[in-house]
Chains A and B, each alone.
Chain A
């Protein structure tokens, strides 16, 4: 959304309401994406639930044990049933939402900020900076998928904080490449050249004229990436490298449920659904944002 965009439709009516800002333009298109709106609403509800979790969870997620109803299926008292140790699965899922949402959001935010900075520097200065940063990205990309995160956790030791660090590093190169590509094409735009010709400093050009142009791509990717990061963090916990029992992390809960699959499949079912719906919501939201922000889509 370059800020040079607002095209006043003054000739048509001259009314102030016809001024189109990038924001209103985005909202006009995004409003029509009903699926994405619903997904956004779902994410909002999840965030509220996660924040309020300690106050609304009916039972203590880690220290409440109902020994009379071990492995019992969903009931009025325990909405999502009880796990093999007698803990309330609904309460554990609520508390787990805090962990998964935090892990997803924080790791992508760190990755996006670091990656955007690196991408801006590489794309704007090119030359030596560009070669060094892109080489670094190549090396990070050479470790396929979750392997990089596993190697980092192997060095730092297991635990949720280290998982977040690992997933952040894992997100940096993709953002760096994305922003570098955008920066390379933006910096040859006429409005950037004119800014340079009136003597604007590099910092002003990057911060005021190049960076705004990369935001829409970063926002779309941010939302898509949260889904991936939640899955990656849950996978690491599932492998026993992230959150440790009795922490109610969704991946760790699934791992604990594995041994009880025969007798109590509902113990695995609810955390699986929770991860699926959360990631689905972020992905659908990302799809909607992309359709609303990508100028190419409208022509179709």
Chain B
């Protein structure tokens, strides 16, 4: 198992390196001169030159890249152009709200999605299945920003049950995490259903039934574990969807997280913040996929020995 994890970790190195290079090049691909952007609109050419030297933008590209990686490893991403504060501080304040938002969204959407998927598969082509799958296909078709606006209008504005914006108490988390998780719950429901339907046709399920096991035992013990294998992989992919989706949801709910920070940064061309956030989002996604791979190895012993 340890060997398997080590192999996975090593496999990440080239991807991480390429992602790092792309994020590093982002600054040089952006239209306009980053030194002029950092110096401000009314800076003299001399000041711009000084800023360029200060930021290390006058060095050859490979040397700049080494500086960038060194900084990234020690958490130093330079200073935000907009607020002049260190990027690490800016992001540090925004990390927890986004992290908890995605965790809560993932938790409810996976539980509910898998529940609907299993019920649909067990009662295939009957009304629980039809209802579940109608909900699911609607869920993947409704854009998160529209759902967020609808939920906010209904539960915060009209009924006044929950707060509209901010992230201070658990009640603030309800609407954004519902909005963010809806599409994932729908995808999980559809995927779990099809995976379960396949498994329920297998010979070993027939054997389990034939030897007189009760239906709940057949479904929970023989079906679930086997059906989970593809579902867990799907879960990892969906985490990426959540991380990306949080950007949109945070704007709708004015959430003090990294997503809104990113949108503001793109708006203001605050490239050190864009760089750090894109890197962080990707890193988080890559690490989550690593965890999923390890989980996969735990559920499915055959994969460890490949």
**Chain A contact residues, CB within 8 Å of chain B:** 135, 138-139, 141-147, 150-151, 153-155, 157, 227, 231, 234-235, 238-241, 251, 254-255, 257-258, 261-262, 265, 268, 271-272, 275-276, 279-280, 283-284, 287, 300
Whether A154 lies near B26 (C-beta < 8 A) is yes
Look across to chain B and name the residue whose beta carbon is closest to the beta carbon of A277.
Answer: B141
Look across to chain A and name the residue whose beta carbon is closest to the beta carbon of B265.
Answer: A154
Whether A272 lies near B149 (C-beta < 8 A) is yes
With beta carbons under 8 angstroms apart, the residue of B140, B143, B145, B266 that contacts A153 is: B266
What does DSSP make chain A's interface, helix, strand, loop or mixed? helix
Q: Which residues of B contact A227 (CB under 8 A)?
A: 140-141
Q: How far is the CA of A146 from the CA of B250 in the complex (A)?
A: 13
Q: Is B144's beta carbon under 8 Å from chain A?
A: yes
Q: Is B160's beta carbon under 8 Å from chain A?
A: no
Q: Which of B77-85, B208-216, B280-288 contacts A (4 or more CB under 8 A)?
A: B280-288
Look across to chain A and name the residue whose beta carbon is closest to the beta carbon of B17.
Answer: A139
Q: Which residues of B contact A258 (CB under 8 A)?
A: 149, 252
Question: Can you list 26 residue pairs at the A/B interface with Cβ under 8 Å?
Answer: A135-B14, A138-B18, A144-B242, A144-B284, A144-B285, A145-B241, A145-B243, A147-B247, A151-B26, A155-B26, A157-B31, A227-B140, A235-B143, A239-B247, A239-B248, A240-B267, A254-B145, A258-B252, A265-B153, A272-B143, A272-B146, A272-B149, A276-B143, A276-B146, A287-B137, A300-B201
Name which of A138, A251, A284 has the most chain B CB atoms within 10 A of its CB.
A138
Q: Which residues of B contact A238 (CB under 8 A)?
A: 143, 145, 248, 251
Whether B149 lies near A144 (C-beta < 8 A) is no
Q: Return B180 CB to nearest CB of chain A, in Å.
A: 11
Whether A235 lies near B281 (C-beta < 8 A) is no
**Known contacts A139-B18, A155-B30; A150/B143 CB under 8 A:** no
Whether B266 lies near A154 (C-beta < 8 A) is yes
Q: Which residues of A contact B197 (CB under 8 A)?
A: 300
Q: Which residues of A contact B118 (CB under 8 A)?
A: none
Q: How far is the CA of A268 from the CA of B145 in the complex (A)?
A: 11
Whether A144 lies near B243 (C-beta < 8 A) is yes
Whether A147 lies near B244 (C-beta < 8 A) is yes
Q: How far is the CA of A258 from the CA of B157 in the complex (A)?
A: 13
Q: How far is the CA of A279 from the CA of B252 in the complex (A)?
A: 20
Q: How far is the CA of A151 from the CA of B197 in the complex (A)?
A: 39
Q: How many A-B pairs fall under 8 Å by CB? A: 129
Look across to chain A and name the residue whose beta carbon is closest to the beta carbon of B286.
Answer: A142
Q: Which residues of B contact A262 (CB under 8 A)?
A: 157
Q: Is B204's beta carbon under 8 Å from chain A?
A: no
Whether A234 lies near B143 (C-beta < 8 A) is yes
**Known contacts A240-B267, A284-B137, A287-B137; A142/B285 CB under 8 A:** yes
Look across to chain A and name the residue whose beta carbon is closest to the beta carbon of B154.
Answer: A265
Whether A268 lies near B149 (C-beta < 8 A) is yes
Look across to chain A and name the residue whose beta carbon is closest to the beta carbon of B28.
Answer: A155
Q: Return B184 CB to nearest CB of chain A, in Å.
A: 11
Q: Return A221 CB to nearest CB of chain B, in Å.
A: 14
Whether B18 lies near A241 (C-beta < 8 A) is no
Look across to chain A and name the residue whose beta carbon is closest to the beta carbon of B283.
Answer: A142
Q: Return B205 CB to nearest CB of chain A, in Å.
A: 14
Q: How far is the CA of A279 from the CA of B143 in the complex (A)?
A: 9
Look across to chain B and name the residue whose beta carbon is closest to the beta carbon of A290.
Answer: B194
Q: Is B278's beta carbon under 8 Å from chain A?
A: yes
Q: Is B138's beta carbon under 8 Å from chain A?
A: yes
**Known contacts A144-B241, A151-B278, A254-B146; A138/B140 CB under 8 A:** no
**Known contacts A272-B149, A275-B143; A146/B26 CB under 8 A:** no
Q: Which residues of B contact A257 (CB under 8 A)?
A: 149
